[in-house]
A and B are shown apart, each in its own frame.
Chain A
Amino acid sequence: KQEVTQIPAALSVPEGENLVLNCSFTDSAIYNLQWFRQDPGKGLTSLLLIQSSQREQTSGRLNASLDKSSGRSTLYIAASQPGDSATYLCAVHTGGFKTIFGAGTRLFVKA
């Protein structure tokens, strides 16, 4: 059974700091992995989608890596800003169009 774990559960950093969010999954048989952002009272916004054959994806200050064999992904946020404060969710897509989510990391960036 696929399980997704995110560490840390919560993180508070000063503005400008670079940070790394971690995601691990138990079954390496995935189609792809996706990082989402959720703001309070809002839906999920897709940040980055990494195909199972890829090692990383970049978008602006965000960089996501994928090591399928070890069941790990990291989301790197460079030069964090208060506007980055949100919950970040990692999700893996398995067969049958199922999406398995982690519990998320709550990020707070202090001005």
Chain B
Amino acid sequence: EAGVTQFPSHSVIEKGQTVTLRCDPISGHDNLYWYRRVMGKEIKFLLHFVKESKQDESGMPNNRFLAERTGGTYSTLKVQPAELEDSGVYFCASSQLDREWEQYFGPGTRLTVT
């Protein structure tokens, strides 16, 4: 069984540019979560999808961040325009609908904004 995959593994962009991160959850997992770890700090929750619906997006830092999950499969997280403080590692996780704590994490996307 394939795990959670994320693309790209690393992205370096200039301030003001746009970047789109992609997450492919484990097949059949209706719950999808985005987290972020800024350098030196703890991993923080960004948002939670149940299928294609946003269940909780209280962790999204501001309106420069837009997450989508069309069709309830893969998800994208777009940052537009990127700022220096957006640098960090973005993790995606997925879980089955009735096992929300059994989250499987992807390897993360390291985003560097220069």
| Chain A proximity of B102: nearest CB distance (Å) | 7
Interface hit among B12-20, B41-49, B79-87: B41-49
Would B56 and A101 count as touching, CB distance under 8 A?
no
B55 proximal to A (CB < 8 A):
yes
Residues in A lying within 8 Å of B, measured CB to CB: 4, 31-32, 34, 36, 41-46, 49, 89, 91, 93, 96-104
CB within 8 Å for A43 and B41 given contacts A96-B56, A97-B48, A98-B56: no
Question: Chain A residues with Cβ under 8 A from B45's Cβ?
Answer: 98-100
Chain B stretch 46-96: residues in CB contact (< 8 A) with chain A: 48, 55-56, 58-59, 91, 93
What is the interface of chain A mostly: helix, strand, loop, or mixed?
A: strand
Tell me the bound Cα distance from A82 to B44 in angstroms: 29
Question: Chain B residues with Cβ under 8 A from A45's Cβ?
Answer: 105
Would A97 and B56 count as touching, CB distance under 8 A?
yes
Question: Chain B residues with Cβ under 8 A from A32's Cβ?
Answer: 101
B108 proximal to A (CB < 8 A):
yes
Question: Chain A residues with Cβ under 8 A from B48's Cβ?
Answer: 97
Question: Chain B residues with Cβ under 8 A from A97's Cβ?
Answer: 31, 48, 55-56, 100
Q: Considering only CB atoms, which chain B residue lies closest to A100 in the complex?
A: B45
| Chain A proximity of B113: nearest CB distance (Å) | 20
Q: Considering only CB atoms, which chain B residue lies closest to A31 in the complex?
A: B101
Question: Chain B residues with Cβ under 8 A from A34's Cβ?
Answer: 101
Proximity string of chain B (9-47) to chain A, C-beta cutoff 8 Å, 1 when within and 0 when not: 100000000000000000000010101000011111100
